[in-house]
Chains A and B, each alone.
Chain A
Amino acid sequence: MRLRRRHPARAAEGAPRLLVPFAGGHLDPAVLDAALRIARADGAVFVPAYLIIVPFSIALDSPLTHEVEVALPLLEAVELRAQNAGVPVDARLERGRSLRDALRRLWDVERFDRILLPVSADERAGFDERDVAWILMHAPTETLALRPASGSVRERVAP
């Protein structure tokens, strides 16, 4: 019997890109599942982007060791889940003076065809209503705001 070699999911050239920004060491698993379903259906590259807020007391270009230690395991867990789901993934770490600033910096330099926004009243777990309003006004592309499933805000994607 000839074994078929399975290669990791690769995106077609020019494939649409689905951005899922998050922050604070949390990503609602319901949001992740939804993002993976949408990406698979669209043949899109899933771009989970962990956003780091840099306080004004620190230069914006400083290395961010502490925040990176929180972000990397989570980002890798998210990536692994995407790979296991057969969805091409291209993760990002971005920073700014606020979530909005970090997001703006990202979409200013990269193309995205859709943004999936985890919304939460808990600012550690996602974007609050003011952020959502701002993003809907300023995002350069279609934006879906996804409410967390009841009680799932505190649930984490395990690193």
Chain B
Amino acid sequence: MRGRFRILLGAAAGVGKTYRMLQEGRQAATEGVDVVIGYLEPHDRPETAALAEGLETLPRRRVEHQGVTLEELDTEALVRRAPELALIDELAHTNAPGSVNPKRYMDIEVVLDAGVDVISTVNVQHLESLNDTVFELTGVRVRETFPDRILDAADEVVLVDLAPEELQERLRAGKVYPKSRVETALENFFRTENLGSLRQLALRELSEDLEARRETRVLDRDAQQAILERILVLVTPQPSSQRLLRRAWRSAQRLGADIDVLYVRRAGATLPEEQTVALAALRRLAQILGAHFLEEESDDLIATVRATVIDRGTTYVYLGTPERRRLEEALHGAFLSRLIEALPGVDLRIAADRGRRRELGP
């Protein structure tokens, strides 16, 4: 049986996620649960390190990379040790090159599959769907991201909250970063308005998560799978894609579905300015509509759509009327036939241009 997964979500570094994780671990150990620290980022914080004392800590896996020794979670050893509860910090972390899994959340999935309960931590800025938003709010492009489905699949998501002013106080007191880094941090990422926006994002994410759980709790997993819809809209940088996305949104409202928007750019292709602007406008529209915008580079549109459908759990693909390219059809077969063949079990909807209804005649 898969282990239970609890995520401690914070707005920024220093709000106390790791501390809370250790407190919960200690409490569980007091109650007789077999607890192991799988990976801990003490961040040179003495209070955190003190709280870890007395809990069994799994030795880290050491990886040599370009002359530097890096330390990672030893997933294999943790699964072998098979505790009842593992504490694993920073789920969005990128593992050292050469690791079995590129990301730590993947290691966590292995541990959960082995039947071990896991408590982990993450900041909201790492959530994939919020990457653009966080960039717009803070000017910082977060490189270490994790897919939303990880948050969705967690059994519990708990917000570890701290008011921006209190966090800044902790920062000034040297409880988050070494004193030499405090001023720079306060002038950049840890500005009050940044922290306020990130806190708002974390609260919103949690409330959406709670709302989704309330709606689906009554159904078992298989039944949910049978009725939940997720729409993927295939767009191009053309005005017609604005219409397509808006129409898909209306369908999504009726179906209670989430929307992903996919633009596949030909590998190495550079868009003319007009299309670059149109693409940016599509991104803005997607944001207003609460859709997730995905951009992929590939020469194989159908394979990319298929991979996205699998990754996002899409049940419904929305596209505009494809342009007929006779040569391509002669060589590879009709685009729609190939798409249908590539997406078994997925509904396809081809949205027509309503303006052309007049061609039907009176």
Residue of A nearest to B281 (CB): A92
> For A111, what are the chain B residues with a Cβ–Cβ distance below 8 Å?
277
By the criterion CB–CB under 8 Å, are B277 and A92 in contact? no
- Asked if A155 is an interface residue, CB under 8 A from chain B, the answer is no
Min CB gap B20→A, angstroms? 25
- Asked if A64 is an interface residue, CB under 8 A from chain B, the answer is yes
- Asked if B285 is an interface residue, CB under 8 A from chain A, the answer is yes
> For A64, what are the chain B residues with a Cβ–Cβ distance below 8 Å?
288
Given contacts A72-B250, A83-B355, A109-B280, contact A63 B239 (CB under 8 A): no
By the criterion CB–CB under 8 Å, are A91 and B242 in contact? yes
> For A7, what are the chain B residues with a Cβ–Cβ distance below 8 Å?
356
Residue of B nearest to A54 (CB): B288
Candidates B136, B250, B359; contact of A61 at CB < 8 Å: B136
- Asked if A13 is an interface residue, CB under 8 A from chain B, the answer is yes
> Bound state CA distance, A111 and B204, in angstroms?
34
- Asked if A84 is an interface residue, CB under 8 A from chain B, the answer is yes
Additional A-B contact list (6), CB under 8 Å, known A61-B287, A110-B277, A110-B281: A6-B358, A61-B133, A63-B287, A65-B253, A83-B355, A93-B285
> For A83, what are the chain B residues with a Cβ–Cβ distance below 8 Å?
353-355
> Bound state CA distance, A133 and B240, in angstroms?
34
> Bound state CA distance, A63 and B204, in angstroms?
11
By the criterion CB–CB under 8 Å, are A63 and B277 in contact? no
Given contacts A80-B354, A84-B355, contact A59 B204 (CB under 8 A): yes
Question: Within residues 5 to 63 of chain A, which ones have a CB less than 8 A from any CB in chain B?
Answer: 5-9, 13-14, 45, 52, 59, 61-63
> Bound state CA distance, A75 and B249, in angstroms?
14
Residue of A nearest to B245 (CB): A93
Residue of A nearest to B196 (CB): A59
- Asked if A146 is an interface residue, CB under 8 A from chain B, the answer is no
- Asked if A114 is an interface residue, CB under 8 A from chain B, the answer is no
- Chain B residues with CB under 8 Å of chain A are 133, 136-137, 197, 200-201, 204, 239, 242-243, 246, 249-250, 253, 274, 277-278, 280-281, 284-285, 287-290, 353-356, 358-359
Candidates B201, B239, B249; contact of A72 at CB < 8 Å: B249
By the criterion CB–CB under 8 Å, are B288 and A68 in contact? yes
> For A13, what are the chain B residues with a Cβ–Cβ distance below 8 Å?
274
By the criterion CB–CB under 8 Å, are B359 and A65 in contact? no
By the criterion CB–CB under 8 Å, are A8 and B246 in contact? no
> Does more than half of chain B's interface fall in helix, strand or loop, or is it mixed?
helix
> For A75, what are the chain B residues with a Cβ–Cβ distance below 8 Å?
246
> Bound state CA distance, A55 and B359, in angstroms?
43
Candidates B137, B281, B289, B354; contact of A63 at CB < 8 Å: B289
By the criterion CB–CB under 8 Å, are A90 and B246 in contact? no
- Asked if A94 is an interface residue, CB under 8 A from chain B, the answer is yes
> For B201, what are the chain A residues with a Cβ–Cβ distance below 8 Å?
59
Residue of A nearest to B201 (CB): A59
Min CB gap B240→A, angstroms? 8
> Bound state CA distance, A68 and B133, in angstroms?
19
- Asked if A118 is an interface residue, CB under 8 A from chain B, the answer is no
Residue of A nearest to B273 (CB): A111
- Asked if A76 is an interface residue, CB under 8 A from chain B, the answer is yes
From A7, A61, A90, name the one whose CB has the most chain B CB atoms within 10 angstroms: A61
> Bound state CA distance, A92 and B355, in angstroms?
17
By the criterion CB–CB under 8 Å, are A8 and B285 in contact? no
> For B197, what are the chain A residues with a Cβ–Cβ distance below 8 Å?
59
